[in-house]
Amino acid sequence: MAAADSPSAALQRRDLCSRGIRLAGKMRSDVIDLLDTYVERQGLDASASVAAAVEGVPVAAAERWDEQTGTQRLLENLAAYRAFRALLAQMLEEQREQLGEADAALGRALAAVLLQVSAFSYHLEELLRLESHGPPSEERAACPPPPQLSLFERKLRGLGVLRELAQWAVRSARDLRQLAKPGPGSSSAPSPPESP
Amino acid sequence: MFSGWNWVARGFYLLLNICSFEVSGGLVQSCGHIIPESPVLALGSNFTALCILNESCLDFGNIYANQIIWKIKNRVVPKEQYHEINRTVSSVTFNDTSSLATPLTCNVLADGQIEQNIYGITVTIGLPPEKPRNLSCIVYQLSKLTYPMTCTWDPGRHTFLDTQFRLKYRWPQENFPDCIPKDVNNSCTITDVQFFVNLEVWVEAANALGKAESDPLVLDPIEIVKPLSPHNLSVNSGILPTVLKLSWENRISATVMKLKFNIRYRIISDTSWMQVPPEDTASPRTSFSVQGLRPYTEYIFSIRCMKEDGVGYWSDWSEEKTGVTTEDKPSKGPPIWRIIDASRSPASWTVHLMWKALHPFEANGVILRYEVTVRANSSLSSPPEKYNVNTTNLTLKLPNGTYEVTVVAHNRVGASPPSVLLIPASNSKAPVKNVRTLPKDGKLLVAWTAPNSYVLKYVIEWCLVSNSSDCIIEWQNEPGNVQGTYLKGDIKPFKCYLITVYPLYADGQGSGQSVKAYLQQDRPSKGPTVQTKKVGKAEAVLTWNHLTVDEQNGFIRSYTIFYKTVNGNETAVTVDPSKTEYTLSSLTSDTLYTVRMMAYTDEGGRSGPDFTFTTQKFGKGEIEAIVVPVCLAFLLIVLLGVLFCFNKRDLIKKHIWPIVPDPSKSNIAQWSPQVPAKHTFSSKDQMYPEGSFTDVSVVEIEADEKKSFSEQDLKPFDLLKKEKSTSEGHSSGIGGSSCMSSPRQSVSDSDEGETTQNTSSTVQYSTVVLSGYRDQTPVQVFSRSESTQPLLDSEERSEDHAGGSDSTPRRQWYFKRNGGQDENNTDRPCFERTKQITSANEGDLLGFAQLQISGQSSQLLGLGVEKNTQEAALSDVLQSSTEGQTMRPETVEGSPPSVDEMPKSYLPQTVRQGGYMPQ
């Protein structure tokens, strides 16, 4: 918190938040586009329901979201995006194994989203560093090894990952807006009730 | 010869030994090697190479390091650069590698004479890479999701080596594969970049001599995006005639980049673009309404975008789209003017009303018709007359008066405001002053000074002045608050324009003020043709015609007359351009002059054709001044002479024209030469007691008698013959010579010096009758005159004194005349005188004359011809006879005491001298 007091740190945090918000927005936009492509290419129904909580996929919904501190928000986001990075990398691997180079566009889109997730993770780590909390180690947030699933299950799981990532993009934007607000409440004080 | 081959064989053997040393192992080993092997060296650095000999070669070939020779290509390296380290190692050092070349070889002199190569290396010289500079990157949007980033840099100097450039980029926690340029060394494109994360970009250059990196560039790629331009632009007419609505689609997501826009537009006929104020389009949008446009006008639109905060690059301009605004009422009435023709009828005018079609931006639509209203101000009660026309002119015949003419233009939407023109009875209002023109920017500016009264507007009227066409009037309106304007029309250079400015007042119009002007002047197309009107002795009046307007090409500022003589310098005279005549003065008389004339405008002059004239020899009245006095003087002299002659007529007559007695009237005695003794002197003395006679004898000389002349006698004849040829022209026959004795004759007379009769004042005339009458036996008759004619004395004397060849024929002719055989006019006085003198014995002479005419004419003529050939001889004879008469009397007759004492009997002396025998 001490670091947040310096003007340059506040400026840097605001810049990181601003760009993080826009990155989240672009990520959500790209993920939405990717979802359409994914559903089409994987032969899925866009309305197909996925289990509410896919195993290993962080859930964007949060109880008492408005009561979270900034650090909490950052930590939750970081954990989620690290998980998404692993999931997306796995999906990209599976997609390459499944389709090879035949569907390069889907692979490029997945790779692009993966990069954005990585970039957003970097933003979150920087923000945590500014909050005087060093980012947690990668191992601590590492996802458990993926279960052995059938191809269809993997497709559905991928669909679930992308949908949840889109949700997280929305939530992350709101979290960063919350962080960007000036004042001490930005990090610890509870905000008005607002659901992501 | 044998020894040479021996050396070659030994050398070959040694080479085999060296090269196939230790062949037993199956490998060919050389006797040494160079360290370093194929080095890459920096240009300008120093370099040392070692040649190391194998130990085995030392023993076998007796090769040692001191025998090593270093060579670059085929050039031996100076031994100063060698250094023998030990018996098997030699080094060579180069302080500057720029002197190196490939290959560098190590050689030995086998047996001290044959050079053998031990080893060679390839040396590569180059430069280490420079640090790449000026790295910059730009992200081009290729599609909605494709954002390749292209970075460019300055690779630095040429290294002469294979240098690799790599564009490196990374996030703080993630590295990306390098971007390796293809075919170039100064740019590379990263296929996809992620926005909103700072990317560190740098360039690495590496070759065998080193590696260099540019300064890193840290940037968020979103800040260097050049987005795709908006597309699907459409233009729609709005409700208002001055508004068009644009719509488009953006090709970059708002989540990625918020955009601002530039909209540009222009009227389709224009070339310059107008732009919507940027602040109006500084926010994200997909449509915009452009306002303030002209009604019924076609516009072209185009749009571009960039990141809203202005960081990054503008997109290219989108494709152009056109749109047309809707119609509106004409914004103003058409400008109107008139030409009044009052010449046809004194009571009415023919008024040509003219108005101009509205400009498109004034018409605001398609003009369907014009409504013209003519209202007479004098009779307000009468209703105005209305005309609907589709053209832009109307001709009316109106009674003299004041009228108000109104023109209104109509289009589909409505009518224009009316244009009003007053047609006054006369242009009695104040005119403008000081109308002037100035060519400017290829147009003709007309300026004037406004009158003191308030002017509603001005009408500027102009027309092209030309000989070949009528003055077709063009005109334009200008508002009343201006004092100058450019002529709106096709104003051509080198043409004369007559420009008139009329001020229009609320209650009438002022009279027009005119000026002539040229947009651009040039030299005249030809010069004036000059000619003379009048040429005198020292002056010439030149005249010429003015150049026509079409020939002038500008204002004629002056004429210059150039004139010169054939060899003289040209003289120039400048003449006022208003003149058509000039008098050249101080010319030389009777001289050929060439004159030409140049006409000058501001841009130069052109010469007309040459004209030549010759001044007169005498001035006016000079001839009269000479001739008249001369004539008067001559007249006076003649008059005085006449008066003098009249006064002295007696004296003159006495001396010049004395009364000559007519021999025919004299008493002449008949005598015969055969019987001279019969004549008694006493009787003659009795008849002419107061004077003595000189006997005249006529001698006929045969041509053959010339032969009898002695040579001595012929000498003077030759001289006379010559003289005769020159004096023949003076002989005018017997009469002339007898009447007037010329000075020349007198001179010859004096030259002769001697006459036979100068002492005698009385002449005894005689006539010789040569033939008989009517077959009668011719009788030699000498008729003697008793006349004491003094003239004959002088005449004979002059005849004799004519001297030379003339004397004889004249003498002959004289006697012919005396015989009456020829009556020449010139002889007439003599003949008449003779006749007068002989009137006393007229009867005898009559018979004598008849005899001559009938019997002697042919003979005498023949004699005349003969005399032509023999006249010299005759003259000599005659001269001799006269001499005989004058000089020889002493010898013949002893001593004649005096003329008075001379015997009166006639005996020609020629008889004795020339053998004369009277027939």
Last residue of a domain, one of B265, B293, B325: B325
B620 domain residue, yes or no: no
Distance, CA of A96 to chain centre: 22
Task: Determine whether domain A13-136+153-180 maps to CATH 1.10.3720.10.
Answer: no
DSSP character for B660?
A: P
Q: Which domain holds residue B153?
A: 133-223
State how far the alpha carbon of B684 is from the alpha carbons of B100, B790, B810, in Å.
Answer: 165, 18, 29
B500 and B352 share one domain: yes
Mean pLDDT of B727-749: 39
B98 and B169 share one domain: no
B463 and B359 share one domain: yes
User: Of A49-58, A104-113, B872-881, where does the model show the most confidence?
Assistant: A104-113
Residue B671 has which token pair?
Answer: 């005598």
Closest Cα in chain A to B171: A119
B415 and B500 share one domain: yes
Last residue of a domain, one of B171, B196, B223: B223
- B683 falls in which pLDDT band (50, 70, 90)? very low
Q: Are the beta carbons of A122 and B255 separated by less than 8 Å?
A: no
B197 touches chain A (CB under 8 A): yes
Mean pLDDT of A67-86: 88
Least confident of B380-389, B550-559, B760-769: B760-769
Which of A26, A28, A109 shows the shortest C-beta gap to B195?
A26
B282 domain residue, yes or no: yes
B378 touches chain A (CB under 8 A): no
* pLDDT for res A5: 58
B248 and B217 share one domain: no
B837 domain residue, yes or no: no
Average pLDDT, chain B: 74
B156 domain residue, yes or no: yes
Closest Cα in chain A to B252: A26
Residue of higher predicted confidence among B877 and B526: B526
Q: Residue B222: its chain A contacts at CB < 8 A?
A: 22
* pLDDT for res B11: 42
B380 and B480 share one domain: yes
For residue range B126-166, list pLDDT tens digits in order: 999 999 999 999 999 998 878 899 999 999 999 999 899 99
DSSP character for A138?
A: T
B692 domain residue, yes or no: no
Which of A20, A29, A115 shows the shortest C-beta gap to B255?
A29
Mean pLDDT of B444-459: 91
- Cα angle B473-B477-B483, degrees, rounded to a multiple of 5: 110
For residue range B312-336, list pLDDT tens digits in order: 999 999 999 999 999 999 999 999 9
* pLDDT for res B333: 92
B311 and B352 share one domain: no
Q: Residue A26: its chain B contacts at CB < 8 A?
A: 195-196, 253, 255-256
State how far the alpha carbon of B701 is from the alpha carbons of B247, B709, B874, B916, in Å.
Answer: 155, 12, 8, 8
Check the CA dihedral B140-B141-B142-B146 and report its sign. positive
% of residues, chain B, pLDDT over 90: 33
Q: How far is A13 from chain B (nearest CA, A)?
A: 14
B471 and B538 share one domain: no
For residue range B493-550, list pLDDT tens digits in order: 999 999 999 998 887 888 889 999 999 899 999 999 998 998 888 889 999 998 898 8
- Cα angle A69-A71-A76, degrees, rounded to a multiple of 5: 100
User: Of B287-291, B674-678, B818-822, where does the model show the most confidence?
Assistant: B287-291
% of residues, chain B, pLDDT over 70: 68
B867 domain residue, yes or no: no
Contact A178, A14 (CB under 8 A): no
Alpha carbon distance B525, B551 (integer Å): 5
Asked if pLDDT for residue B848 goes beyond 90, the answer is: no
Query: Of B235, B228, B215, which Cα lies nearest the Cα of B290?
Result: B235
Check the CA dihedral B20-B23-B29-B32 and report its sign. negative
Number of domains observed in the structure of chain B? 5
Asked if pLDDT for residue B441 goes beyond 70, the answer is: yes
Mean pLDDT of A43-57: 70
Closest Cα in chain A to B191: A108
Asked if pLDDT for residue B834 goes beyond 70, the answer is: no
B564 domain residue, yes or no: yes
B234 and B260 share one domain: yes
- B96 falls in which pLDDT band (50, 70, 90)? confident
> Cis ω on the peptide bond leading into residue B36 (within 30° of 0)?
yes
Which of A33, A119, A125 shows the shortest C-beta gap to B194?
A119
B173 touches chain A (CB under 8 A): yes
For residue range B173-218, list pLDDT tens digits in order: 788 899 999 989 999 999 878 888 889 999 999 998 899 999 999 9
For residue range B263-286, list pLDDT tens digits in order: 999 999 899 999 999 999 999 999
B179 and B254 share one domain: no
CATH number at B282 reads 2.60.40.10
Q: How far is A80 from chain B (nearest CA, A)?
A: 18
* pLDDT for res B303: 96
B294 domain residue, yes or no: yes
B422 and B508 share one domain: yes
B514 touches chain A (CB under 8 A): no
Asked if pLDDT for residue B796 goes beyond 80, the answer is: no
- Mention every residue, 6+ apart, whose C-beta is less than 8 A from residue A2: A132
DSSP character for B740?
A: -
B371 and B503 share one domain: yes
Residue with tokens 């026309």: B389
ipTM over 0.85: no
> Cis ω on the peptide bond leading into residue B103 (within 30° of 0)?
yes
Contact B297, B365 (CB under 8 A): no
* pLDDT for res B322: 95
Q: How far is A19 from chain B (nearest CA, A)?
A: 5
* pLDDT for res B509: 84
Q: Residue B255: its chain A contacts at CB < 8 A?
A: 22, 25-26, 28-29
Last residue of a domain, one of B464, B490, B518: B518
